[in-house]
Amino acid sequence: MKSRPTPRTLYRTAAVAEAITWALLLTGMFLKYVTETTELGVQVFGMVHGVVFIAYCLATVLLAVDQRWPLGRLALGLVAAVPPFATVPFERYAERSGLLGDEWRLRSEAPRGAIEKVTAWLLRRPAQGLLVAVVAVAGLTGVALVVGPPA
C-alpha cells in the first residue's frame, strides 16, 4: 500500500515550500531592484511563488475543513501566506495547538454538510483529489495572471 501524506506532512510541506519560494522571489527582487542586474529572478520566481502561494492556501482550506478549524484560525492560516516566511511559524503554531493531525478525519468519519461532503470525496479518492487540486491551482493561477500582478 502506498503511503499517503498525513494532514501534518502535507501542511508542513506546503508551509515550507511557500517560505522557500518567498526567499527565491525576494532574491529575484534584490537582483532586479538593488543590483539592477536582471529581471529574470522576479519573472521566474514570481510565477513559482504565485503557484505555491495558491497551493498553500488550498491546503490550508482543506485542513481547516477536515480538522474542523475555527474560522479565525483558517483566516490566520490564509493571512500567514502574505508576509514573507510567516507560513512556517503558523505551521508550528498549528502543530503545537493540535490543529494538524496524523489522519484525515473525513476519510473515515461521516461528513456533515456540503463542504465536508466535497472534502471527504476528495480525500477518499486521492488520485481524483490530486487531479482536482492541480486543476484548481492551474485555474486560479490563470485567473491571477489575467488580473495581473499585485499593485
Note the pLDDT tens digit of each residue in 69-101.
999 999 999 999 999 999 999 999 999 999 999
- Threshold 0.85, pTM exceeds: yes
Nearest-Å Rg of the Cα atoms of the chain is 17
pLDDT per residue as tens digits for the range 12-63? 999 999 999 999 999 999 999 999 999 999 999 999 999 999 999 999 999 9
For the beta carbon of residue 84, count every other beta carbon within 10 angstroms: 14
Q: Which three cell numbers stand for residue 81?
A: 501566506
CA distance 7 to 19: 18
HSE-CB at 3 with a 13 A cutoff on CA atoms is 6
Nearest by Cα to 18 from 67, 72, 71, 80: 80
Q: What is the pLDDT of residue 1?
A: 45
